Amino acid sequence: MAAHLYITNPLDEAEKRHGDAFATAVTTSMRGHGRASQARVDELYSKLYPPTMLFEDPYTHEGVLWTWGLDWGVDVKMLLQGEQQNELVKEGLAWLLDLLNLRHKLPTEKAMAAWSTPQMSPISTTKAHMKLWHKYYRERRKAFKKFIARALELESPVECNLNL
For residue 30, tell me if it sits in a domain: no
Q: According to the model, what pLDDT value does residue 9 have?
A: 72
For residue 64, tell me if it sits in a domain: yes
Number of domains in the chain: 1
User: Residues 46-85: pLDDT tens digits?
Assistant: 766 766 788 999 998 889 999 999 999 999 999 999 888 9
For residue 109, tell me if it sits in a domain: yes
- pTM: predicted TM-score of the whole model, two decimal places: 0.76
How far apart are alpha carbons 5 and 86 in whole angstroms?
10
For residue 12, tell me if it sits in a domain: no
Question: Percent of the chain beyond pLDDT 70?
Answer: 83
For residue 94, tell me if it sits in a domain: yes
Element (H, E) at 18: helix 8-30
What are φ and ψ of residue 103, in 5° steps?
-105, 125
Strand partners, 3: 57
Whether residue 121 is predicted with pLDDT greater than 90 in this model: the reply is no
Q: According to the model, what pLDDT value does residue 34 have?
A: 62
> Range of 118's domain?
2-7+51-161
Q: Are 29 and 38 in contact (CB under 8 A)?
A: yes
For residue 27, tell me if it sits in a domain: no
For residue 22, tell me if it sits in a domain: no
For residue 119, tell me if it sits in a domain: yes
